[in-house]
């Protein structure tokens, strides 16, 4: 942020929003301390998939809070953790049926890397350029969505290599060509940088979120799976942002018909309570040294109760299907909007309710200042959006999955007015 707003007693390193204080929220609407309504097209960065304060989730939290707040899992388990693990096993792809619960996405990434190294006995991990995986040492090392996040974090952990991620719009090539080039680059890496017998896992976001809603082509994920199978390398799908129904499937990698070996879940699973998980097959999980990991709050009773209610709401209210249907409406409205600015180069992309508009000038320079101005106008007019991409020229939309058609129309109308003011 160019001019950070200083908030007394709050550190600036985490980029606090100094201009907005929210007191209550419901569904896609948030209300500030001046009583103003804001339409939330961020969902707290893909967290409140069931909408703000979903009554079922709130009731589960209230009930569990009265029964038991905390029982450290080393000392005694509780029903919510057992029921949640069983439920997650029933919705996870492939052979994934065993879970390690943690408090944040970053910790799930750390657990996944560590599990892959233990299970394969190999040291190296391949991440993808432009990916975001978190802020703890290992997760930060995997993260290359923006060099700002990495500043002050050196030295990174060793044994991490970076493969290119297909970016057809940025590189001005068709998606299938981008996929083929990146697969070739991976084959080259395995010959020149980290041999297969030294490579434990690939960690990939099937849809890069912070990087700017880059959807990995299905053929790319299928090719990656084939490389993994050929060499005994594990495929770790970071579904922390794209998972829990957001993409129009429970997990985004499922669009490609690919089953990962390991799945990382966070954000949307807790509907706002801090919970994340690393899931894999029993056989792989059993290769992690017994008792080697833990954590005071891992699998907290209230967070697990919220997560169980979240999965029930997603299922019973058909939110995966809703993400598909509403996502298609959002994308078609954004495409119609983008077509009104032929003097600019605009790319509308996404899957389900993970959508973005990338804005470049006709000569392909990133329209960073314009996007900042569009954001500011939308924010002033009660629409909360996210910026993303290393050049901050991408407008990202990740509304709650309960978003209505009318709310999508309202958001696109607000965005359209900002486009008219800034891009013409």
- Binding residues for ligand PMP, per CB under 6 A? 45, 104-106, 109, 132-134, 205, 209-210, 238, 240-241, 266
Beta partners for residue 163, in sequence order: 128
Q: Which is nearer to ligand PMP, 276 or 338 (CB)?
A: 276
Rg of the chain over CA atoms, in angstroms?
A: 21
* Number of residue whose CB is nearest ligand PMP: 105
User: Is residue 401 within 8 Å of 330, Cβ to Cβ?
Assistant: no
C-alpha dist (Å) from residue 173 to 180, 220, 228, 292, 328: 11, 15, 26, 46, 24
Least Å from the CB of residue 64 to ligand PMP: 21
Cα separation, 25 vs 126, whole angstroms: 40
Minimum distance from CB of 220 to ligand PMP (Å)?
17
- Closer Cβ to ligand PMP, 45 or 58, answer by number: 45
Using DSSP bridges, classify how beta strands 29-32 and 22-26 pair: parallel, antiparallel or unpaired: antiparallel
Q: DSSP letters along 87-151, please?
A: HHHHHSSTT--EEEEESSHHHHHHHHHHHHHHHH---EEEEETT----SSHHHHHH--S-HHHHT
Which residue's CB is nearer to ligand PMP, number 106 or number 345? 106
* Comparison of 327 and 338: residue with beta carbon closer to ligand PMP: 327
Report in angstroms how near the CB of residue 327 gets to ligand PMP at its nearest: 18
What are the CA-CA distances from residue 261 to residues 96, 97, 311 (Å)?
A: 7, 11, 21
Closest CA relative to residue 353, chosen from 253, 203, 209: 209
Residues 6+ apart with CB under 8 A from 76: none
Nearer Cβ to ligand PMP (128/169): 128
141 vs 241, which CB is nearer to ligand PMP? 241
For the CB of residue 148, give the shortest distance to ligand PMP in the complex, in Å: 14
| Least distance CB 247 / ligand PMP (angstroms) | 12
The candidate with the shortest Cα–Cα distance to 235, out of 163, 144, 289, is: 163
The least CB distance from residue 356 to ligand PMP, in Å, is 14
**Tokens 């077509």 belong to residue:** 339
CB of 69 to ligand PMP, least distance (A): 21
Contact 382, 414 (CB under 8 A): yes
Between 44 and 333, CB nearer to ligand PMP: 44
The sign of the dihedral angle between the CA atoms of 75, 139, 51, 269 is negative
Neighbouring CB atoms inside 10 A of 37's CB total 11
Shorter beta-carbon distance to ligand PMP: residue 238 or 254: 238
Shortest distance in whole angstroms from residue 253 CB to ligand PMP: 12
């Amino acid at each position: 942020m160019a001019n950070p707003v200083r908030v007394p007693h709050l550190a600036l390193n985490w980029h606090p929003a100094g201009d907005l204080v929210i007191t209550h929220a419901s569904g896609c609407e948030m209300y500030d301390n001046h009583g103003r309504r804001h339409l939330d097209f961020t969902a707290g960065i893909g967290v409140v998939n069931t909408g703000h304060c979903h009554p079922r989730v709130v009731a589960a939290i209230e009930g569990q809070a009265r029964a038991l707040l905390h029982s450290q899992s080393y000392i005694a388990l509780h029903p919510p953790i057992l029921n949640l693990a069983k439920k997650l096993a029933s919705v996870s792809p492939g052979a994934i049926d065993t879970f390690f619960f943690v408090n944040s996405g970053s910790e799930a990434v750390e657990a996944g890397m560590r599990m892959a190294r233990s299970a394969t006995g190999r040291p190296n991990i391949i991440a993808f350029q432009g990916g975001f995986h978190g802020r703890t040492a290992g997760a930060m090392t995997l993260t290359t969505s923006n060099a700002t996040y990495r500043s002050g974090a050196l030295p990174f952990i060793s044994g991490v290599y970076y493969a290119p991620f297909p970016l057809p719009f940025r590189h001005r090539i068709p998606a299938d060509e981008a996929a083929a080039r990146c697969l070739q680059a991976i084959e080259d890496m395995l010959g020149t940088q980290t041999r297969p017998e030294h490579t434990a896992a690939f960690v990939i976001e099937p849809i890069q979120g912070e990087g700017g809603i880059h959807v990995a082509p299905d053929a790319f994920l299928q090719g990656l799976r084939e490389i993994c199978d050929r060499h005994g390398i594990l495929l770790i799908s970071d579904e922390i942002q794209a998972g829990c129904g957001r993409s129009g499937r429970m997990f985004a990698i499922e669009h490609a018909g690919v089953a990962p070996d390991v799945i990382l879940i966070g954000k949307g699973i807790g509907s706002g309570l801090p919970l994340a998980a690393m899931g894999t097959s029993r056989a792989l999980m059993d290769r992690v040294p017994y008792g080697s990991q833990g954590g005071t709050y891992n699998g907290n009773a209230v967070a697990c109760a919220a997560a169980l209610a979240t999965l029930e709401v997603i299922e019973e209210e058909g939110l995966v299907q809703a993400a598909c249907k509403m996502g298609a409406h959002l994308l078609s409205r954004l495409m119609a909007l983008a077509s009104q600015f032929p003097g600019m180069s605009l790319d509308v992309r996404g899957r389900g309710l993970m959508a973005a508009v990338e804005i470049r000038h006709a000569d392909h320079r990133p329209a960073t200042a314009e996007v900042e101005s569009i954001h500011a106008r939308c924010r002033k007019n009660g629409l909360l959006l996210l910026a993303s991409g290393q050049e901050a020229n991408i407008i990202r939309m990740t509304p709650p999955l309960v978003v209505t058609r009318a709310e999508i129309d309202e958001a696109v109308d607000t965005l359209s007015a900002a486009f008219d003011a800034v891009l013409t």
